Structure 1
Amino acid sequence: MSVVFDDIISKKIWDGKLPIQISLNPSESHSLTEPIFIEAARCSYLPLVTEHLASIYNGLGIDLTNTDVWYDYQGEPLKWHYPVGLLYDLSGSKDRPWRITVHFQDFPNDILLKSPSVEAAQDIFMAMVKQADFLRHGTTKRVMNLSKNDQSQLWESLSLDRFDEYWNVNQHLIADSDSLRYVPLRIYLSNQCPVIQEVVSFTNEGNPKVLGDVLKDILPDLFPSKSATPMTHGIRLPLDTPIRWASQNLSFPDNFLHVVICNEDS
């Protein structure tokens, strides 16, 4: 059974923005004392935010050359290789703007991946795209058959906020077929729990699976529950959402469906 790609929903997700207030770490002495306010795409990454802010920092005498810039929320370092919107949902914050702190010193090598550059973010993004392709089809042939220009365009169109250019390429990777194998799915819990990435099929004995089926199989102690709610892109997902439709239409640009489990009692 094929699933119709909903370009209206995908465009709304792509256009999702998050207002952010970025303050300097008080222990670092710089001439800039007032916070900077920006609007970042939920699908973007912190190294791209840093690149956007570089001219401001450089103009204030803060040289970012050979500097590993990192951010925290309420003292917790933010994983720069995660999409911004995913980081916000994981933080549990309801603040708008989201108040985070930028650091230019004392990079937490024991917590974050090293070298938070745009190039490193691109490499990890493409590795995720390939992994998603392998899970869906059992091979990375669709990605590897793209030209080098098309592979580069996936990241460049994301970094430049060019929806149409991105989908001109990505449509070849997620084109629906009857030979789909597994859902590119990652599940996130609170309290720094490890990311859950298990093999999840699109159907159960030929019948379409819904999100509730998947969560009950993976997290039987939490689902079904009135307090635990799945979320992606800041949207609370009904448990009867077909997993194939969700994967096709609600995945991030890396083609993974990133689902955060929120505790409604907190």
Structure 2
Amino acid sequence: MSVAVFDDIISKKIWNGKLPIQISLDPTENHAFTEPIFVILTLFFSYSCNSIDNMEASRCSYLPLVSEQLLHIYNGLDIEIINTEIWYDYEGEPLKWHYPIGLLYDMSGSKDRPWQITVHFRNFPNEKLLKSPSVEAAQDMFMSMMKQADFLRYGTTKRVMNLSKKDQSQLWESLSLDRYDEYWNVNQYLISDTDGLRYVPLRIYLPDQCPVIQEVVSFTNKGSSKLLGDVLNDILPDLFPSNLAIPITHGIQLPLDTPIDWASQNLSFADNFLHLIICKSVS
């Protein structure tokens, strides 16, 4: 069975991917301060850290972790926040708080840098978003995705379930604190076993709010590595191969001859899923 080699250099580059974000308050919520939080962040972090790099969010991070920072900043500016059920939108479309930030950006189709989004503290869209977007809820969703990935990869969740509470907490804390080595000290146990591999933890996102596709995809075909193009042709034969669409992950267009096992091993998000966005190709 062909087995992809883990590439620490590629994995670290994926982990270190950052996205500058400009966050504005919804002007209809009548806050006393309505300037974009991008400006506030510039002032705040220039004062406290002497570096504007802190304005950038990790692509693998989650919006509830950003909310935690925002509340700290607003409290320092004496801005009263009545409702702590914080949510965000991009061009009017609510952003799923349990998706990684980089995935949300790529799904939005935006090319803006910084990414301009709006934060809300009222009128939570229950019909479009999961409720209770707290840091604790984000952590629970993150661990649930890791269990799903474990089950798809090996047919059991025992690797995640057998982690100590300390190690399970370390996975999330290292992500929230942007500590690559601490994350991989634990995660390598979940993905390093190449015996008995079953299916690729893969999710595919189409344009126009189509349902997420999560189908069973084996790592190999008759002992050889499956290529990404073959996988997409099986799942989306009307789009691949053609000039109609391209696969994106972490803002990168993936060649169709990329081995799917290599992509899964090296390009997955911190939840161990390979998240692929299918974009309309620009002719």
Normalising by the residue count of structure 2, what TM-score does the alignment of the two structures yield?
0.91
- Which 4+ stretches in 1 moved above 6 angstroms? none
C-alpha displacement of 1:179: 1.3
8 Å Cα contact 2:82-2:121 kept in structure 1:
no
CA distance in 1, matches of 2:81, 2:231: 44
Partner of 1:14: 15
C-alpha displacement of 1:30: 1.2
8 Å Cα contact 2:83-2:121 kept in structure 1:
no
Q: Report the number of matched residues.
A: 266
C-alpha displacement of 1:64: 4.5
- 1:87 pairs, out of 100, 104, 109, with 104
Normalising by the residue count of structure 1, what TM-score does the alignment of the two structures yield?
0.97
Distance 1:100 1:62, change over 3 A: same
C-alpha displacement of 1:103: 0.3
Which digits, 9 at most, give the CA deviation of each residue in 1:117-142, with x for residues without a partner?
00000000000000100000000111
C-alpha displacement of 1:61: 3.4
Distance 1:64 1:141, change over 3 A: farther
Which one is further off, 33-42 or 116-125? 33-42
Give the letter for the 2:246 counterpart. Answer: T
C-alpha displacement of 1:226: 1.4
8 Å Cα contact 1:2-1:178 kept in structure 2:
no
Which digits, 9 at most, give the CA deviation of each residue in 1:206-242, with x for residues without a partner?
2210100100000001001113000000010000000
Q: What's the Cα RMSD here? A: 1.2
Tell me the percent identity: 78
Q: Which runs of 5+ in 1 are unaligned?
A: none
- 1:136 pairs, out of 150, 153, 156, with 153
**Counterparts of residues 1-266 of structure 1 (less than 5 Å):** 1-37=2-38, 38-64=55-81, 67-265=84-282
CA distance in 1, matches of 2:82, 2:138: 17
Q: Which runs of 5+ in 2 are unaligned?
A: 39-54
Give the letter for the 1:260 counterpart. Answer: I
C-alpha displacement of 1:63: 4.3
8 Å Cα contact 1:17-1:40 kept in structure 2:
yes
**Per the alignment, in what secondary structure is the counterpart of residue 182 of structure 1?**
coil
